[in-house]
Amino acid sequence: GMGYHGASHGYIADVLSAERTHYRAISCHLGGSGSVCAILDGRSVDTSFGMSLETGLIHANRVGDMDPTMFNFLMKQGLSEDEIMDGLLKKGGLLGISGVSNDLRYIEEAADAGNERARLALEVFVSGIVHYIGAFFVDLGGLDVLVFTAGIGEHSARVRRMVCAKLSALGVVLDEEKNQSCRGAAVISAPESRVEVRVIPTDEELGIASRAYEYLSENQ
């Protein structure tokens, strides 16, 4: 499976598979909920989600990967189980760190206005994405295509720039002009980039329909 964003990553894999057969791709679904998926020849081989949607990247309101001893630490601080879960699942993530909003647009505005917590929220978000890309790069034995999708992935040139700036060790070179001007689907890497960087608007409905069709074809 492709994790809880399977319909989205599955759609991305379908787009890439229509162009090529053998490839190593990493799909970054960055929306209110975020996940990174490693794709080998159209098949998911790893994802940042775990048993639930709570692991991996920080999300709009949810903390993502967390030190398991944190729960006990917070209980000893006098918080109830409900308060802790509420903090982890509703008041955490981009909202908790920035203290501004769970919406990245407002966080970017606040960061531009000099808000340090908003800047930190962006940094933490980006560093999580980069950690998964680095791990999956090694898992896949290299990388042909890096894809950004969903609300933030499709619309935040800043997040794409911040992520790609940390991937120079992988041979990623962004064309900043293409990154800024892209609307909808686009290749935003420079010609000399060893990895093709793409923005692909996701289509989860089509992703679900294709998976259902595949399932029915294989099980009739």
Binding site for ligand AMP (CB under 6 A): 31-32, 60, 103-105, 150-152, 155-156
Instruction: Compute the distance between CA of residue 165 and CA of residue 177 in angstroms, rounded to an integer.
Output: 14
**Shortest Å distance, C-beta 211 to ligand AMP:** 19
| Cβ contact 102:32 at 8 Å | yes
CB of 179 to ligand AMP, least distance (A): 13
Structure tokens at 121: 């929220």
Identify which of residues 108 and 175 has a Cβ nearer to ligand AMP in the complex.
108
The C-alpha atoms of residue 193 and residue 178 are separated, in whole angstroms, by 13
- CA distance linking residue 162 with residue 164, whole number of Å: 6
User: Shortest distance, CB of residue 105 to ligand AMP, whole angstroms?
Assistant: 4
Decide whether 11 or 23 has the Cβ nearer to ligand AMP.
Answer: 11
What Cα–Cα distance (Å) separates residue 176 from each residue in 137, 150, 162, 165, 182? 22, 20, 11, 10, 10
CA angle 154, 159, 163 (to 5 degrees): 115
Residue 32 C-beta: closest distance to ligand AMP, Å: 4
Residue nearest to ligand AMP (CB): 151
Cβ proximity to ligand AMP: between 10 and 151 the closer is: 151
Three-state DSSP at 50 gives coil
Min separation Cβ 218 and ligand AMP, Å: 29
Q: How far is the CB of 112 from ligand AMP (least distance, A)?
A: 12
Q: Which is nearer to ligand AMP, 47 or 156 (CB)?
A: 156
| Closer CB to ligand AMP, 122 or 170, in the complex | 122
Provide the β-strand partners of residue 204: none
The tally of CA atoms less than 13 A away on the side-chain side of residue 197 is 29
Query: What are the CA-CA distances from residue 165 to residues 98, 100, 176, 211 (Å)?
Result: 22, 25, 10, 34
Specify the residue, 132 or 137, whose C-beta has the smaller distance to ligand AMP. 132
